[in-house]
Amino acid sequence: MTILAGLDIGGTKCAVILGKLREEQIEILERVAFPTPGTPGQSIQKMIESLDGLIDKHQVMIAAIGISCGGPLDSRKGVVLCPPNLPGWDHIEIVDQLEAYYHVPVALQNDANAGAMAEWRWGAGKGTENMMFLTFGTGMGAGLILNGQLYSGTNDLAGEVGHIRLAEEGPVGFGKAGSFEGFCSGGGIARLATTMAKQAIEEGKRPQFCQTLAELHDITTKKVGEAAQNGDELALKVFSIVGHHLGRALALFVDILNPEKIVIGSIYGRQKDILEPLIKKELEEEAIGLSLSVCEVVPAGLGESIGDLASFSVALLALKGNKSNS
């Protein structure tokens, strides 16, 4: 039995998790979550205090720590560079700090890579050699498992698929109008729905998710999704645009990477009934038939546990890296 610790660092909240690894299965012993403090120093101190509390409570010794955090970051040096959702986290050497304090191996990965490893090890991608994980949440990023191992690129920027431009015009995502993240992310869908709702209301129509111009600022992807499931015409039109661009992007990935599975998180699972037929149509029209015939597109399998298990997958990297260096 091996005890692992996981740190899940987000723009609004952080979680510290203690887990027990037995053979290849992980059991969560306990987690502590709290709003992300104002500075990196305060955040790291709060995580240390929380982890110390869990270690004392369960009377265990940890073997490794894994950190899942939004990028950009340098996983090789263990440095958080300057994530847009974590103001002030500029060149924070978090791995060195935690290794000096706990004297165990520590590893850092961006949240998309960590999520990919978790889905590959314990979720919908289990048993594959070539898999792609798409976050499809607040933003759009990807983690790549190629030939049975994580592929992170030359300087940790592999998988930044949200930056790909899919159209000359469209909602802004990842700083680019018409990008994959612009069309296929929580923020992007809300922006697209806002633009379309404004036009509809000015034409005298009232979509379920926004009845007046005053409500435009309150549009969320959740509201649009619920309206689509209830048959609202404009909400369904929004998701038809999303599905079209999602399918086109998936066709590119099928042709370039030839994966066994593409696992899609968050929004896809909640709107699968609406999106699946749309992406299948695009894939059949756009992707190479032989590549598509061996690729399955599925929702993420870990649900709300993915953040916790993502950090444990990084802890396993730290543990294995330490063994290979010993």
In the chain, what are the domains? 2-117+305-325 (3.30.420.40), 127-300 (3.30.420.40)
Q: Quick one: pLDDT at residue 320? A: 85
Judged on CB neighbours under 10 Å (0-12, 13-18, 19+), 85 is middle
Q: Quick one: pLDDT at residue 179? A: 96
Question: What number of helices (H) and strands (E) belong to the chain?
Answer: 11, 14
Task: Inform me whether the pLDDT recorded for 92 exceeds 50.
Answer: yes
Looking at per-residue pLDDT, the higher value among 305 and 287 belongs to 287
Task: Inform me whether the pLDDT recorded for 209 exceeds 90.
Answer: yes
Minimum mean pLDDT among 4-8, 35-39, 44-48, 274-278: which range? 35-39
Q: Quick one: pLDDT at residue 325? A: 47
Q: Quick one: pLDDT at residue 144? A: 98
pLDDT single digits (tens) 143-155: 999 999 999 999 8
Strand ranges in 121-270 using DSSP code E only, listed in sequence order: 131-134, 142-146, 149-151, 172-173, 176-177, 261-264
Q: Quick one: pLDDT at residue 324? A: 46
Q: Can you tell me the distance from the alpha carbon of 182 to that of 167, in angstroms, rounded to the nearest whole number?
A: 10
Quote the pTM value.
0.91
Q: What is the mean pLDDT of the chain?
A: 94
Q: Can you tell me the distance from the alpha carbon of 70 to that of 61, in angstroms, rounded to the nearest whole number?
A: 27
Q: Can you tell me the distance from the alpha carbon of 177 to that of 180, in angstroms, rounded to the nearest whole number?
A: 9
Average confidence (pLDDT) over 168-187: 93
- pLDDT-derived band at 326 (thresholds 50, 70, 90) equals very low
Average confidence (pLDDT) over 177-197: 95
CA nearest 111: which of 277, 313, 264, 282? 313
Average confidence (pLDDT) over 279-301: 97
In this structure, how many other beta carbons lie within 10 angstroms of the beta carbon of residue 87? 12
221, 280, 276, 122: CA torsion to nearest 10: -100
CA distances, 130 to each of 64, 171, 253, 294 (Å): 26, 31, 12, 11
What are residue 98's DSSP bridge partners? none
Judged on CB neighbours under 10 Å (0-12, 13-18, 19+), 175 is exposed
